[in-house]
């Protein structure tokens, strides 16, 4: 349980949670996550965020390697969600800090989660600064990135941005820095985190990145509350550029075919549609929802400009796994996607209409007529599925080149 000095007299004192497998509804298997907290040693010893409640002993152990917890003067709460503030009440009771800093919305969240009677809370807004002695901390509110109370803390003397949930990843490892792991693994974790958590707030991400650029902050380290730390100007720029690319959601020439099946008819249709997409020059992945979690679909969709969804009719609707996936996807609000629907049925055949309505409700373009088949697909049905794939491929190619 070792603390790590990430800058002179600034230490990581967080927790690695190897066992977590669900994070806000998306699957972390085989990864866990981290709850990062940081302590700055200055004239005013300052703790930035805490950890999930059950990890309080680990936080105290790491803190004690740097400073006696009772000597903490200030606590900064960048975010009041329980994975960052779950241990806050116990830390306040033990440390008895002079001041606790949070955003205006953070105060409301703090009052909702805790009895803060007697707590020395001070609200700070964008542009406000405090002195720690040799260092200053400037606050920037980042509302709805991804909670209303969110803010980041900038320490100019150390060129350090303690950035809350922004630029995070769910990685449970002994490494603390992003440059210490395989880049493709890092990118996958960043993509997974962004497209399952941050995606609905993409317009805010772009505004925040622009605001940081306008402030001309000199940053050579990003310290998020989840995952690995980005150190060095190149790594910081890599993180900024990656988030901007994700937030822009420019269409990409790749497709995912997502389905569930009862007696394999819809599954067979999925493969025929994929053949049509590939014939149209669009690389495609097929994902059966009984084998792929809905969060894995969103991670795949990050690189796909088209999503084709299939289900047999079930109780005059769609299969539960398809309904769950579409509900989850709609909540994350992907933009600039092309969609299509397909499915099989036994006697009523409502599934295709239901899927089409879901995709339309997400603002997707639907260039191809949906395909449905009664009972078992025939040679003619496979031809229609193939043509659906080719039509979507042509529309996606035009969208990407337009």
Annotated catalytic residues are 24, 79, 81, 83, 146, 165, 193, 226
Query: CA 356, CA 136: separation in Å to the nearest integer?
Result: 54
- Tell me whether the omega of the peptide bond preceding residue 30 falls within 30 degrees of 0, making it cis: yes
What size, in residues, is the chain? 402
Residue 143 burial by CB count (10 A; 0-12/13-18/19+): exposed, middle or buried? middle
Backbone angles phi, psi at 86, to 5 degrees: -60, -30
- Is the separation of the CB atoms in 359 and 346 below 8 Å? no
């Amino acid at each position: 349980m070792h603390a790590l000095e990430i800058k002179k007299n600034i230490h990581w004192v967080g927790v690695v949670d190897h066992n977590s497998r669900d994070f806000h509804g998306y699957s972390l298997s085989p990864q866990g996550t981290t709850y990062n907290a940081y302590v700055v040693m200055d004239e005013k010893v300052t703790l930035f965020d805490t950890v999930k409640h059950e990890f309080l002993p680990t936080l105290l152990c790491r803190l004690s390697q740097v400073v006696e917890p009772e000597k903490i003067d200030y606590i900064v709460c960048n975010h009041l969600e329980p994975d960052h503030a779950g241990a806050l009440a116990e830390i306040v009771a033990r440390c008895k800090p002079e001041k606790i800093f949070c955003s205006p919305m953070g105060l409301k969240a703090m009052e909702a989660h805790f009895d803060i009677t007697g707590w020395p809370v001070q609200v700070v807004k964008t542009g406000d600064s405090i002195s720690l002695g040799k260092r200053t901390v400037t606050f920037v509110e980042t509302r709805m990135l991804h909670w209303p109370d969110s803010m980041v803390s900038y320490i100019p003397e150390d060129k350090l941005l303690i950035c809350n949930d922004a630029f995070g990843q769910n990685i449970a490892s002994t490494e603390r820095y992003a440059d210490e792991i395989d880049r493709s693994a890092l990118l996958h974790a960043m993509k997974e985190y962004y497209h399952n958590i941050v995606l609905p707030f993409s317009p805010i991400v772009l505004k925040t990145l622009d605001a940081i650029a306008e402030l001309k902050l000199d940053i050579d380290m990003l310290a998020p509350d989840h995952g690995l730390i980005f150190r060095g100007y190149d790594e910081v720029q890599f993180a900024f550029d990656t988030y901007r690319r994700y937030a822009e959601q420019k269409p990409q020439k790749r497709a995912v075919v997502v389905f569930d099946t009862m007696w394999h008819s819809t599954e067979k249709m999925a493969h025929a549609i994929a053949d049509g997409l590939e014939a149209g020059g669009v690389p495609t992945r097929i994902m059966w929802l009984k084998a792929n979690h809905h969060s894995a679909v969103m991670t795949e969709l990050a690189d796909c400009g088209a999503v084709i969804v299939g289900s047999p009719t079930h109780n005059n609707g769609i299969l539960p796994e398809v309904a769950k996936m579409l509900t989850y996807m709609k909540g994350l609000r992907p933009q600039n996607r092309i969609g299509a629907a397909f499915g099989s049925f036994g006697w009523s055949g409502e599934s295709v209409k239901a899927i089409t309505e879901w995709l339309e409700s997400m603002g997707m373009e639907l260039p191809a007529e949906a395909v449905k088949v009664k009972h078992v697909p025939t040679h003619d049905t496979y031809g229609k599925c193939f043509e659906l794939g080719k039509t979507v491929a042509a529309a996606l190619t035009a969208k990407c080149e337009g």
